[in-house]
Structure 1
Amino acid sequence: MTIVSNDPSWWPVIEENRFSSYFIVAAFVAVVYDWALTFGQEVELVWRQRWSLMTFLYLAARYLGILSAALTVLSTLPTISLTDTDWIGVFVFAMLWVIIITRLHAMYQGSRKILIFLIATFLAVNIFDGVVVIMSTMHVSGEQYILSGTYMCQFNFPEDALRLGSITWILATVWEVLALCLAVWIAVKHFRELRRHSAGGIIGDCFSVLIKTHMAYFASFVAVSCFTLVIQLSPTMLADEYSLETQTLNGFGQISTVVQAFVLGPRLILGVREYHAKLVANSDAASPMTSIAFQERVHVSTNSSV
């Protein structure tokens, strides 16, 4: 159904749609710029290397990110639905968590207990997320508007969709905090052992790279969670969705989500591969290492037993 109106009462809606489009375009530009900036590294460190699970995860996260950002920019067109980008987001974040699980499994020297624990929690959270998206998309309805010559779509979600969305973000936040704590714990443990045995060097540098890339990714996730939860749980924001504050928080939340998933996510792999490539090029000391973090099963030899 298409509604055509020139009623001035719709002008706040038109302004909100125009204002949010600036952030959408900015997020798309950020993804494309980062892709262009790292394309040379991608060719050397991904396309020309032996293909593995991490290769497919990197390419999927990178190019699904560009597709998702482009679809969001085109979401005002009749043929593009926001539910398309919702499903892309679910798949990409699931892949990012697989990357993090692989990193943690490697950092814990292939511990089966850690792997089982991470997979169990990963499945629980992602199954819940998938059910929420299915429930939301099954009951979503949409209308097309042409307001004062401006085309836009309005999607109406079920009443409990907002509450379920808040729960999914809370669960995701708990999982991310848990993953960060596990990474920091094992890194601190390794650094202490290396200092005790005066055996720093390659192993310590490898863990430093892993922690730095993880911390950057986690910081972005914290920003996304804060923006999302404030908007979804604040009565003031919910009461006035067209206010400048609400629109601005929505915009920065969208940019943070895109940067986390489609910029920092792929860099979880690219950063460590870059470190490994430099290590191989500059030192023969890399040869005894079975494979540093994502080349593509990370096992770093230390004196610890996990």
Structure 2
Amino acid sequence: MTIISNDPSWWPTIYSTIFYSYFVVIACAVVIYDWGLMFGQEVELIWRQRWSIMTVLYLVARYVAIAFSIINMLISLPTVAKTGEVSRMMIDVIDWMNEAVEVILSVIAIARLYAMYQGSRKVLIFLVVTFLAIRIPIEVMGAMVTKQVTGEEYILSGIYRCRIGYPGNSIFLGSMTWILATVWEVLTLCLAIWIAVKHLREIRTRSTGGIIGDCFTVLMQTHMSYFASFLAVSSVQISLLFPQFLSHVSSQDIQIYICLVQIFHTVQLSVLGPRLILSVREYHAKLVACSDTATDMP
């Protein structure tokens, strides 16, 4: 169903739609800029290196996240014509692309922790079992939300807007998925901090081990940046559980808050996520370059 109106009472909705689209375009521009900025490094550290599972995971996460950003921008542009059904289908595609990238980033986090714990099988089994126990309910609830979502097209004074409805308990289910995802991220962060502190203490008691310390520093820096962005997004998603937030969702302050979170979420998936692999590859490349230089010295 399409609703066409030139009623001035819709102007606040029109301004809100245009305002939100600005932030979505900014988020997409940040992703494209970062990709262009890091493309040379990506070619050297990813494309020209020996291919592995991590290489495939990086490429899928990187380019699916870029496609996610572009499609999200196209949906949000108020000058692009789109029916309610098409918009709902595109939002479903975005949601599942988002889920795919999050699963890949979780697998990358498991691989990093497995390496940090020096290949401990107990840690690997614990991480895999915990990940499946958390992720399966997330996917089930995500599928339930997808079935309930509705789309309705509005043409307001020449501005296209698709109103997505979340009837029933879809908002609650969506918030629960973010709560479970937050539990997983907090768990991986705690495990990373624990082993990093343990290794740093061991390094202080020895005369050597600077390389190991630098490696753990690189791992923790990228992990903390990724977790901070995830926490900012998760806080807003979880806050949807509270009626106080829903009653003021149309206010300008809340709209700005949601728009900023849109940027954080896009940056988390498209910029910080791939850096979980790229930063480690860069560190190892520097180690190899330094060792080659030292070997050539008389």
Same fold (TM over 0.5): yes
Report the equivalent of 1:54.
54
Report the equivalent of 1:41.
41
Q: Deviations over 1:19-71 (max 9, x none)?
A: 11011111101111111110000000000001111111111111111100100
Partner amino acid for 1:236?
Q
* 8 Å Cα contact 1:280-1:286 kept in structure 2: no
Partner amino acid for 2:62?
R
Distance 1:166 1:137 in 2: 14
Structure with more of its chain in helix, by fraction: 2
Question: Which one of the candidate residues 265, 279, 283 is aligned to 1:275?
Answer: 283
Deviation at 1:284, TM superposition (A): 5.2
* 8 Å Cα contact 2:31-2:66 kept in structure 1: yes
Question: Which one of the candidate residues 259, 263, 267 is aligned to 1:259?
Answer: 267
Q: Which moved more, 1:266-275 or 1:11-20?
A: 11-20
Instruction: Please give the secondary structure, in 2, of the residue aligned with 1:75.
Output: helix
Contiguous gaps of at least 5 residues in structure 2: 77-81
Report the equivalent of 1:96.
105
Report the equivalent of 2:114.
105
Distance 2:200 2:148 in 1: 52
Partner amino acid for 1:258?
T
Distance 1:171 1:65 in 2: 21
Deviation at 1:158, TM superposition (A): 2.5
Partner amino acid for 2:193?
V
Contiguous gaps of at least 5 residues in structure 1: 288-306
Report the equivalent of 1:181.
190
Q: Does 1:170 align with 2:179?
A: yes
TM-score by length of structure 2 reads 0.91
Report the equivalent of 1:225.
234
Partner amino acid for 1:247?
Q
Distance 1:286 1:142 in 2: 63
Deviation at 1:221, TM superposition (A): 1.4
Q: Deviations over 1:192-220 (max 9, x none)?
A: 11221222221111111111111111111
Deviation at 1:8, TM superposition (A): 2.0
Distance 2:22 2:177 in 1: 27
Q: Which moved more, 1:278-287 or 1:97-106?
A: 278-287
Distance 1:286 1:260 in 2: 37
Distance 1:170 1:122 in 2: 14
Deviation at 1:226, TM superposition (A): 2.2
Question: Which one of the candidate residues 244, 253, 273 is aligned to 1:236?
Answer: 244
The 3 A distance-change label for structure 1 pair 148 and 44 is same
Deviation at 1:285, TM superposition (A): 10
Deviation at 1:240, TM superposition (A): 2.5
Q: Which moved more, 1:196-205 or 1:266-275?
A: 196-205
Deviation at 1:234, TM superposition (A): 3.9
Deviation at 1:135, TM superposition (A): 0.8
Partner amino acid for 2:68?
S
Report the equivalent of 1:191.
200
- Structural RMSD (CA): 1.7
- Number of residue pairs aligned between Structure 1 and Structure 2: 286
